[in-house]
Amino acid sequence: MIISSLLLFESNYSYLRTQQWHLFDGQQWSSICNDHIIESHYCQPGARGMTIDTHLGALYIDFDAMTVRGPFAGLGIRREMLLSHNQTQEVGWYFKDNSYWQEYGTQGTSSVNSQTLEQWYNTNPEGSFQFTVGRSTYVIDFSAMTQTRRSTHVLRKVRRRPKFNSSVFVNDRCPNTPSPLSTSINSSMGITWEFMGEEGIWTEYQKPGCSLDSIDIENQYQLNPHGQLTFTAGRYSYTLEFSEMFQINSTFGTKRHVRRTTGENHYNSSALSQIQWQYNDENGYWKDYVKGSARGSCTISSQDIERQYQQNSTGSMSFRTGRFNYILDFSAMIQTNMSTQTKRPVRRLLQ
C-alpha cells in the first residue's frame, strides 16, 4: 500500500499520541507528520511493511526488520515511545496459522497468552519460552521470532506488535507522591481480575469464553472505581460491581466474589508467595491451585508446590482434589489424574 499524504517535517501537529515515528535521511532524524497512518498499519500482525510517498521519494518500511529502503543509501526508521514512567502499552503476540495470524490465548486452547509472553520477553528479549498445548510442546525463540513444535519440528513465524490506540495506565498523582498502583503496573507486573468459581477456585477473566478480560476490566475500573460494567460469558449476562467487588448473574441473580490483584500484593511477602502455580482446565482457562479445608478441596497450594519445586525442580509431587489423586511432574510441567490418566498443562508464574 502506498500512502501519499505523509510528508517529512518538524511540526507541532498534535493529538493524543503514545509514539512518534522518525526517518533518518542520512544526516538527521525528522519526525513524520500523520504518522498515525504508519502506526495503524504497524499494529496489524499481518502487515510486513508499507510504502510511503515523501519528498525523498517512495520509501518502503520493513516492519519486521525495522529498516527503510529508498532511492538513497543510509536511510533509517525508528519508532519512539512517548510513555511516561507510569504508563504502559498493550502488546499482542501472534503466530502464523497457515495463512492467518492468530493471537496467543484467543482460541481458548493455548496455554499461553500475549501478557505472559510479553512478561518473559521483557525479562530476556534474546531468550526463549516453552509452553504446551495438549500433549505437544512448543518453543518460542524471541531473537528469531519463531515457534517450533518439538515433536515435528514444524516452524511458524511469530510477531510482536502493539495494539493500535490501546489504553495506557495513567496515574494522575503528583510525581513526588508515588502510588501503589503506579508502582505495581509495569511491563512485568500487571493487574489481574478474578472471580470465585464453583469449586472455590479463583479464575481469571479471559477471552474468548468471556467478553472481556483483566485489561478491559481494569480500564473501566480506572475510569470509575465505584461504578459497574456488564459483560457476557456463554449465554449469560453479568454485572460486575466495583464498589462491592462481586459479579451478579442477570438471569439467576447468583453472586460471586471478585478480586483485583497486583504484583505489589505479593511483593513484600515471602519468596514462595511470589510464585503462582496454575493448571489449564478442561475449558482452556488457567486456574490457581487453592488449598482448602472443606471436603473435596485441593490438598496443596502454590506455596506448597513451590517449596517442593525448590527442593527438586526435576522431580514430582502428589496431591488430592475431591476423590481423585494427581501427580505433578515438574520436568514436563504436567499434572496427571491417576484414575483417568488425563494430563493437563501446568505453569509457574512470577507474580
Q: What is the per-residue pLDDT across 249-287, written as a single tens digit (0 to 9) for each?
A: 988 888 888 888 765 443 333 455 668 899 998 888 889
Q: What is the pLDDT of residue 189?
A: 42
% residues pLDDT > 70 (the chain): 79
- pLDDT average, residue stretch 86-111: 80
19-24 β-sheet, strand order: 29-31, 19-24, 76-81
Which of 250-289 are b and which e, b meaning 16 or more Cβ less than 10 Å from the residue's Cβ?
eeeeeeeebebbbbebbeeeeebbbbbbbbbeeebbbbbb
Reported as a pLDDT band with limits 50, 70 and 90, residue 148 is very high
For every residue of 113-151, DSSP letters joined together read -HHHHHHHHHH-TTSEEEEEETTEEEEEETTTTEEEETT
| pLDDT at 89 exceeding the cut of 50 | yes
User: How far is residue 261's CA from residue 51's CA, in Å, rounded to a whole number?
Assistant: 44
Backbone φ, ψ for residue 123 (5° rounding) = -70, -40
Domains of the chain: 2-81 (3.30.720), 91-162 (3.30.720.50), 191-262 (3.30.720.50), 267-350 (3.30.720.50)
Q: What is the pLDDT of residue 214?
A: 87
pTM of the complete model: 0.47
**CA angle in degrees (0–180, nearest 5) for 172-190-96:** 120
Lowest mean pLDDT among 32-46, 119-133, 157-171, 306-320: 157-171
Residues 6 or more apart whose Cβ sits within 8 Å of residue 237: 230, 231, 249, 250, 251
User: Residue 125: what residue type?
Assistant: P
| pLDDT at 179 exceeding the cut of 70 | no
Strands 246-249 and 255-262: antiparallel
Q: What is the pLDDT of residue 334?
A: 93
Q: Which helix (H) or strand (E) holds 180?
A: helix 180-184
- Pick the more confident residue, 159 or 228: 159
Q: What is the pLDDT of residue 279?
A: 93
